[in-house]
Each structure stands twice: as C-alpha cells, then as structure tokens.
Chain A
Amino acid sequence: MASPLSQFEIKTIVPIEVFGYDISFTNSSLAMLATVLLIILFLSIGLKNSSIIPSKSQTLVELSYEFIAGMIGDNIGKEGMKYLSFIFSLFMFILLGNLLGMLPYSFTWTSHIIVTFAISFFIFILVTFIAIFKHGLFKFLGFFAPSGVPKAMLILLVPIEVISYLSRPVSLSVRLFANMMAGHTLLKVIGGFVFVLGANSFIIGGALPVAFLIALTGLEIVIAFLQAYVFAILTCLYINDAIHLH
C-alpha cells in the first residue's frame, strides 16, 4: 500500500523553466487556480441579480461578508475596515482551499508548509510595515518593552517579546499546515483500516472503520472552517497590535 503521505506529492503538469528556476505548473498550482475560480464563481453568481430581498445565493455571500466584517469590527474596530478586502480574500482563499481538499482525489494546497509560510510571512511583513509607518520606528521598538515592568526585568522580557514576535509567521503557518496534513493523513490511515479489515474478516469487520471514517470526514470539514477562521482572526489580532501598539 502506498504511504499515507503520498497524497501530498507534487506532480508537474506543464513543465516551465525560467533562468534555471523550476516554475512548472503543478497540481498544487491547479488546485489554487481552481480555488480562485470557485471564489469568483461563488461571488459573481451570488451578486448577479442583487436585490434588497436577497436570493439564496446572495444570502450566502452577504453572510460571509458580514462574518468577516463583524470579526474585524470586534477585533480591530473602525480603523480596521480598510483591511476588510484583504482579510475577506484571505479567509475565502484558505476556506475554499481546505474544502476543495476534502473532495476525493483532489489536492490540498494548504497542506504544504511553503504555501502557508509564504502567506503568513507576507502578513508578518505587512503588519510590521503598518506599525512602523503608523507610529514611527522608535515607538514600534517600544512595543517590545512592556510598560509598567521594573527596569531590571526588561533584560529578560525584551528577548522573550522579540522571539514571540518573530515566531508569529512560523506558528501561524505551521498551525494551518499541520492541521491539514495530520487530518488528511489520519483519513488515509483509517481508510486503510477499512480496506484491511473488510478484506480479512466478514463484511461487518469493515463497517466500524467506515462509520468512524464518516465521522472523521465531518470533523475534517469542521476543522477546515475552524482553521480558516483561526487564520483570519489571528491576522486581525496582529493588525490590531500594529494599529494600536498595546
């Protein structure tokens, strides 16, 4: 049987090479392209005949918009509304990427750390620049020295704050990647149990793992939502830190 990790293998579809760099169109790029097309389809169908009394598809679009707008209002406040389009597209991109990966034989691009790390590193740089442009370099550096602490404690606290700030992109990306990879590996392993138990015992032997697999698929779909939500809300919190500095 193939290893449970073989589902994450990247296969080249259209080989492209520019100046010695391999920038081939792979199944990962195909999945990302499909995600973007799905988002465009979802939004354009929902808003095609927009009216005051919304249709069913328009309600879905409005629901997702209000969900993100409410999240920003709760966590950042009025100043955060200009980041609405960024966080909305981020949330939809990750959510539909996770859900697309739940289809059998599809590819989960969120289960690759390089993809999630690129997204979270972009957020990290964006947040740092917002803080520096809004408050100036000196006040931004003051962010690493918590106020109201004895001076002697700062020797200990400043390195901790700096490390925790620098580890943000790592923890943000590894959280999404680890959840997706572990979840899909688990599904594959349990799927293997169904096969082995069903073949080696009576038909009833495979029934229990199948029931477990169905429950696990439901859990995976919940986690797809939850991880997109956590990614978006942590981005909100980081932007809030940058705008308000404490």
Chain B
Amino acid sequence: MDIESAKLLGAGIAVLGVIGSGIGIGSIFSAFITAVGRNPEAREHVFTMTMLGFALVEALALFALIIALLLLFVF
C-alpha cells in the first residue's frame, strides 16, 4: 500500500471515534427529556447541565476529527 492511500484510510478509520460521541450525545439528551418529562419545573436548571455535558461529549468527537484532519493535511 502506498503512503497516500494509507493516509486516506487512516483518516477514515480515525473518524470512527465520532460513533462514541454520537452515542453519548444521544444518551445525554434522552436523560434530559426524561428528566423534564418527570419534573417540568426543573427544566432551566437541568438544561444548563445538559449543555455542559453536550459540550464535553462533543469535544471528544472533535478530537477524533482533529486526528483525521492532521492525517489528511499536515503529514
């Protein structure tokens, strides 16, 4: 395998890390919907925590994306 195709394959494999983040974001928002469904008054308070969790999980997807971009454009 020449180096160029190995790079492209590597970038494709690296981006698989986004799967975990997708599962995480799904579970965060499902927990948020459940919480608001049970206690609609807590919506404001739970929403800020949801956003914090969302941002933390989304960052992990971006770490994988950064590796893919590094493979594609930098090396």
Contact = CB atoms under 8 A, between A and B. Distances in A.
B69 A179 contact: no
Interface in B6-27: none
Nearest to B69: A185
Given A3-B73, A5-B73, A175-B59, A182 B52 contact: no
Contacts, number: 39
Interface residues of A, number: 15
A182 B66 contact: yes
A182 B62 contact: yes
Contacts of A194: none
A7 B15 CA distance: 22
A179 B51 contact: no
A179 B73 contact: no
Interface stretch (A81-89, A121-129, A209-217, A227-235): A227-235
Query: What does DSSP make chain A's interface, helix, strand, loop or mixed?
Result: helix
Interface of A: 3-5, 174-175, 178-179, 181-182, 185, 226-227, 229-230, 233
18 contacts: A3-B73, A4-B73, A5-B73, A174-B59, A174-B63, A175-B55, A178-B59, A178-B63, A178-B65, A178-B66, A179-B55, A179-B62, A182-B65, A182-B69, A229-B51, A229-B55, A230-B56, A233-B52
Interface of B: 51-52, 54-56, 58-59, 62-63, 65-66, 69, 73-74
